[in-house]
């Protein structure tokens, strides 16, 4: 070996050692969080850019499987509004909305089921199972999991959550599997309804007494004055969250998430988080690092 080669090798070795040491520090930092959440159930609302971007989708699948492998019980809930609209147009039916909610007639609810259960759910399940064979696809129709009532006759088959039967979720979690839930609900007559995925995630988290409820979104978290980055809120309690809502500081898309967080925390969920799903490995950063990311919401501090 020439003196030049020897010098290069000597330089490379310390750099390699530093990289290895940095990885060891990260793993050591993660250990107490792994212990804290082992055996705990976490409900994750998956959607937005994290679902649409192929690289982020792979990152999400890796994160969820890692959570399962270190002893956590992740439960994934997803919607798929853009997929529904796309399929409707391909089938010659133009989407119609009233007050921001999709009008869902008899033909549309069939399309919703095809899009959410037949396409989106299968894709999420397949992505997770490429990493580890744990994901099982479900809809709220399965085992009568999501019971609903009709929201408004003008909207057709759009439902509000009346109750959640978590029996099938508990069974899958006991088998160390990852439930992936498409948000179709049923009324007492067995009629299918389209249901807001944010609302379902909160209600399901409450029903299974989850340790955490997590929303992956297309923003960095909650803002006191959106979109001013200096107004990003790192933590807030439900009382502060209600004040924020009353002040009109929340975007229309954030309102269902916030309402669901408040109800879930009042119903016994430990903590709720609104995270930036555009960041690779957002779940791991939140669960297994000291700093965390996004906005954490807790029950009233008083």
For residues 159 and 149, the answer to whether their CB atoms sit within 8 Å is yes
CA distance 194 to 105: 10
Which of the following is catalytic: 47, 140, 198, 276? 198
Could you tell me which of 65, 13, 23, 47 has the C-alpha nearest to residue 256?
A: 47
CA distance 144 to 61: 27
For residues 139 and 117, the answer to whether their CB atoms sit within 8 Å is yes
Q: Is 119 a catalytic residue?
A: no
247 is written with which tokens?
Answer: 């002040």
Which of the following is catalytic: 48, 80, 140, 159? 48
Q: Is 81 a catalytic residue?
A: yes
Which of the following is catalytic: 40, 81, 93, 110? 81
Q: Is 45 a catalytic residue?
A: yes
Q: Is 40 a catalytic residue?
A: no
Strand, coil or helix: what is 248?
coil
Q: What is the CA radius of gyration of the chain?
A: 21
Which of the following is catalytic: 80, 137, 140, 257? 257
CA distance 45 to 49: 12
* Active site positions, annotated: 45, 48, 81, 198, 257
């Amino acid at each position: 070996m020439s003196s030049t080669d020897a010098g290069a090798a000597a330089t490379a070795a310390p750099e390699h050692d530093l990289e290895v040491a940095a990885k060891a520090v990260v793993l050591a930092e993660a250990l107490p969080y792994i212990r804290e959440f082992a055996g705990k159930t976490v409900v994750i609302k998956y959607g937005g850019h994290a679902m649409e971007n192929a690289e982020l989708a792979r990152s999400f699948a890796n994160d969820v499987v890692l959570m399962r492998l270190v002893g956590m019980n992740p439960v994934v809930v997803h919607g798929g509004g853009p997929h529904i609209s796309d399929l409707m147009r391909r089938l010659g039916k133009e989407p119609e909305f009233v007050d921001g909610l999709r009008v869902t007639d008899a033909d549309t609810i069939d399309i919703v089921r095809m899009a959410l259960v037949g396409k989106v759910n299968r894709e999420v399940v397949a992505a997770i199972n490429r990493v580890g064979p744990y994901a099982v696809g479900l809809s709220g129709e399965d085992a009568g999991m999501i019971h609903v009532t009709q929201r408004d006759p003008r909207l057709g088959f759009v439902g509000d959550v009346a109750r959640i039967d978590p029996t099938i979720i508990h069974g899958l979690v006991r088998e160390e599997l990852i439930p992936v839930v498409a948000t179709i609900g049923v009324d007492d007559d067995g009629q299918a309804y389209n249901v807001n995925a944010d609302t379902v995630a909160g209600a399901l988290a409450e029903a299974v007494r989850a340790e955490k409820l997590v929303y992956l979104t297309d923003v960095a978290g909650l803002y006191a004055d959106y979109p001013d980055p200096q107004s990003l809120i790192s933590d807030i309690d439900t009382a502060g969250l209600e004040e924020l809502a009353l002040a009109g500081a929340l975007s229309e898309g954030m309102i269902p998430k916030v309402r669901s967080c408040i109800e879930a925390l009042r119903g016994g969920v430990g903590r709720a988080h609104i995270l930036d799903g555009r960041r690779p490995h957002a779940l791991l950063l939140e669960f297994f690092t000291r700093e965390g990311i996004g906005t954490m919401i807790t029950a009233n501090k008083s």
